[in-house]
Amino acid sequence: MNSNQWMSLLGLANRARKIISGEELTVKEIRSGKAKLVILARDASANTKKKITDKCGSYHVPYKMVENRYLLGQAIGKEARVVAAILDEGFAKKLMTLLD
């Protein structure tokens, strides 16, 4: 997996205002049906991982894992982030292919 590719695409999606990050906001967007893809850092706490993956499962939202919270944060120009949701179908589909 080429981290540069998914990171620059995530950066693009972020500039297009198609990303929200943080656990509470992500859960809210999963519930509202706006989240098209959830990206979770592998170093998220077990508790957070379970909460997010369970929510994704109940609402049929796909999720992908990335190396760690620092890469995820860096990609969207923020401090470390353990979880982010993509709110755009196009970006989500492309990211899914890059994060396989």
Per-residue pLDDT tens for 2-50? 678 999 999 999 999 999 999 999 999 999 999 999 999 999 999 999 9
Between the two ends of the chain, the Cα-to-Cα distance in Å is: 7
* Whole-number Cα distances in Å, 19 to 14, 47, 65, 91: 5, 22, 16, 10
* Predicted model pTM: 0.95
Give the domain CATH number at 69.
Answer: 3.30.1330.30
Total structural domains within the chain: 1
Whole domain around residue 61: which residue ranges?
A: 3-98
The reported pLDDT for the residue numbered 99 is 92
**Mean pLDDT of the region 50-75:** 97
